[in-house]
Chain A
Amino acid sequence: MNTDTTAERRITFPEGHQDVVEALLVDGRFLLEGDPAFMTLKQHVDFYQAFFRESFGLSLEYHSEYAFLQSGRDSDPLSRDVCIFLGILCYELDREGYNLLEQLSFHTLEFEQVEQMFEMSSFREVLDATTNLQDAQARRNFYNRLHRRRIIERLDDQIFRFTPAHKYFLEFARSVARYNQRLVEEEE
């Protein structure tokens, strides 16, 4: 933050400040590496940590490939839907013999292919119980939301790919596994 100690204190904001705030606060989306706003954020991480904390009481979660503002809400229905979606997708991809991390990080996926996996999935019950994932129409809306939040990137009507933001959820899955592993070890 640059301050000027002339007659009145004036704050100058980094260039692209509006884009950063709009993406993080107004759109509530993941800001991704490669995005010009991400560059701004990267160069002024400390400033933005303080800015969002002081102005809105929100903490900025900054990683090397993505950043977002923590909502502060304990439970977000979208987050649960994303977890269920990714969980089932990972399971199905692995079952079909794909290299999971490679597939999610570097390859494009076809909506059609994903739809087939979900239609045939053995997690039918879970899907039925999840309003936003239960049928093809609901999932189409869900894909749009994922796109708006920049968890996936729609390349056209047929294909999409995951943005680095998906790693946030994979990390969550790892932490779940580690937690359960510890429980098992403690029991032993």
Chain B
Amino acid sequence: MTLTVSRLKHMSCLLLAVALLCICKPTFAENDESTLSTEDVLRVVLLRDYNTRVVIAGTGLLGLSAGLIGSFALLRRRALLGDALSHATLPGIGIAFLIQALAGGDGKWMPGLLLGGVISGGIGTLSILGIGRLRRMKEDAALGIVLSVFFGAGIAILVLIQQMEAGHAAGLESFIYGKTASMLGRDAWLIGLAGFIASLIAVVLFKELRLLCFDAVYARSQGFPQAFLDLVLMALIMIVTIVGLQAVGLILIIALLVIPPAAARFWTNRMGLMTLSAAIIGMFSAAIGSAVSALFPRLPSGATIVLTCSLIFLVSMLFGFTNGRVLHWLRRIRLHRTVGGQHLLRAVYEQIELAQETNPELKPETSVVPVAAVLAMRSWSAWELKSIIRRAEGEGWVVWLPNQTLRLTAEGLTRAKRLAHEHRLWELYLITHADIAPSKVDRDADMIEHILQPSMIAELERLLEAETPLGQVPPSPHPLSAELIDSNANQSTRRKEGRS
């Protein structure tokens, strides 16, 4: 199964590559007409254009407040609230349009439409809260129900509107796809103001909202009005959603609410920092996205902003400080290497012990162990063992003699003794204190020995004082040759399980 999943991952990468090619293909074809002059770049970057300035400032502000508010929504497990809310505004917008048109006015009078959207969004919010309080209804079900039912109602109303007068309702689509490029100074001011107010409320209520996100029950027991705080959070999300809906469209406002906080999650585990970085990520990706879309022809600004966000998310996922994949892989590789080196040292030491059984005068400092014997100790491949030995050689723990034998250096011997000591302490502990059969303990000790802390070792030594001679490596509680068969058998069964 693990194999299939990783293969699917490769396939998905391939598919993404194809998709990227598809994006680029038309660009190559029309390269001659859309070459960028430095003049154009400068114009956008230095914000010489009034329009560019407005768009970048407006979307940047939106990204900032969306990232800030979205962090709370994410931690409250309501990341997709924006999704549900933006769908829930549709029936209100439709009904507002119907009323305005039937009253003889201009159906598309914006404040009226916005008011309708806010009202039905508010009803949707309350419904989500109400459904969430029903027994066994989870957040996601509440969001899904409100989203689909309200959207269905909205579609039904839009169909009615289309019957009234053909083409009359054409502008309503901009609510779904957004019209960033034609953003006016007025819109930017509106976004800025709404975003500022929402951010201000979030910052003022930071402590309360943080408690709500992490432990709502505790918050309630401390006398915080949990329902009210939930409502405040939802209202903040609604402000950002409805303002952004107009500016960048339905999908893209969801992205601005979700992606920057999710990306920030890879950088830090501290809530204050996370909120701050989410706001910064949101702001920068919105500003960069708008700038890029202003530079290239036929690059819808909303979608470009989202892709910029996604790109930042990808970078965060790979290189983030706390949960980033690269650090994770590096840490795993380092652990793998440490474990490999320790296994090698102990294997060589145990071979020396075996040899000493037949020949008691053998000195560990001078005795050599054939690589083949070490190879047989565990289920490692010859290639794997070779790289482990090379690394141990580099550390100065072993010497790889030309006749395919290994000899421990003084430092290596000290280390090997300590490792065998720790391994056997744990084995003894398992036998005497956990009542595990001596034939089984090797495997368990194998897993824990690499992460034993010095304090733990001291504790074990104290516990096992009676069984272990002080200052010496205790004898193995099980025959070393049997261990060889046992651990090999264990490993091969584990591999089989892993494969199936």
Do chains A and B stick together as partners?
no
